[in-house]
Amino acid sequence: MAANAAAGTAPSSSSAAGRHTDLPSDAVAVRNILKTMGVEQHEPRVVNMLLDFVYSYVSGVLSDAAAYAEQVGRPAGEVENEDVVLAVQTRAQLSFVPQPPVELVRSLADQVNNRRLPEFDPRAGFGLRVPPDEHLLVQPNWRINVAAHQQGHAQRGTH
């Protein structure tokens, strides 16, 4: 470490044994979870972001559990396992969208894929088929009344 300080570099966050001596135990736990999931390299901010998520999630669950405990008449601060389980289940239903069943996705895909694509007109050429000009939103939606325009110029004596 003294060599690092003399060289002007930051001290390493891990010792020779692979333990992180200058990190809080929660950060070490998050790093270990990342390693067990196969994440070997990541930005240092990833650990902080995950710690922030864990803190906000756990504090939210515990505050919900305290509210549930208070609702059933327990004294303030007396939270039981049932309260925490209910709070976690409620958060999971509200925060995380469950993946739809595979059968549902397949049936929806079959409904969409059963519709025939429009026939391709080889005379129109290749590429995107665009509707006629009168149906385009980028088409000018005003017209010049040529007769009135010419009449106005004739009255003023200009062309």
- pLDDT digit string, tens, across residues 85-110: 999 999 988 887 778 899 999 999 99
Distance from C-alpha of 1 to C-alpha of 7, rounded to nearest angstrom: 10
Q: Say if residue 158's pLDDT is above 60.
A: no
Range of the domain at 94: 23-114
Residue showing tokens 């939606």: 141
In a domain, 128, yes or no: no
CATH number of the domain within which 89 lies: 1.10.20.10
In a domain, 127, yes or no: no
Distance from C-alpha of 66 to C-alpha of 36, rounded to nearest angstrom: 33
In a domain, 14, yes or no: no
Q: How many domains does the chain have?
A: 1
Give the CA distances from residue 28 to residues 17, 31, 143, in Å, rounded to whole numbers and listed in that order.
14, 5, 71
Residue showing tokens 């300080």: 5
- pLDDT digit string, tens, across residues 142-154: 566 667 666 766 6
In a domain, 137, yes or no: no
